[in-house]
């Protein structure tokens, strides 16, 4: 015998007596088919996530039962015949024994590994700090760059006689 869970939503427009009658009729199907009712949950009227058959609310009912596969088939047949049932869903539940067996099969026993010896490494040497260049060194660098970038200027006749370079602007 398998365990099942069936959820169904009943129209909110029905009166309480009619709703109760539908729930008892569906519960009788389980006993007639030689099933065993484990638990019956009645959540009552709840707001739906989206409209179903132009309804924004529904009466929620859950059956947890044990039995043959004929029981959910018969319940679903009756749900389809009734206009008061908005939606239904039946799920076959796994028994606890099966769950434990599957877990043991899937996960092999873990072996304990001995920790490997730790190798000690010396820390790297500290970074060398860079010195800031003095004013004289900066001037020398600027002069070297100026000579590399700018070609030597042509001297005019006056500069040649005076020994000076022509100054721009």
d(CA 60, CA 96): 26
Residue 7: per-residue pLDDT? 94
Give the 3-state secondary structure of residue 76: helix
Domains and CATH numbers, the chain: 2-101 (3.30.70.60)
Is the whole model's pTM more than 0.85, yes or no? Answer: no
Q: When comparing pLDDT for 44 and 100, which is higher?
A: 44
Task: Please say if the pLDDT value at position 11 is more than 80.
Answer: yes
- What would the two tokens of residue 144 be? 């070297």
């Amino acid at each position: 015998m398998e365990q099942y869970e069936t959820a169904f939503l009943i129209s909110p427009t029905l009166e309480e007596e009619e709703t109760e009658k539908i729930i008892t009729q569906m519960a009788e199907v389980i006993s007639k088919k030689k099933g065993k009712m484990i638990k019956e949950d009645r959540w009552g009227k709840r707001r739906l996530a989206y409209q179903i058959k132009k309804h924004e609310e529904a009466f929620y009912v859950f059956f947890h039962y044990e039995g043959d596969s004929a029981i959910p088939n018969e319940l679903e047949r009756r749900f389809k015949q009734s206009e008061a049932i908005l939606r239904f869903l039946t799920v076959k539940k796994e028994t606890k024994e099966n769950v434990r067996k599957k877990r043991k099969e899937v996960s092999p026993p873990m072996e304990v590994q001995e920790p490997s010896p730790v190798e000690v490494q010396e820390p790297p040497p500290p970074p060398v700090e860079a010195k800031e260049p003095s004013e004289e060194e900066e001037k020398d660098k600027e002069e070297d760059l100026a000579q590399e970038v700018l070609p030597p200027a042509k001297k005019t006749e006056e500069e040649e006689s005076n020994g000076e370079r022509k100054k721009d602007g």
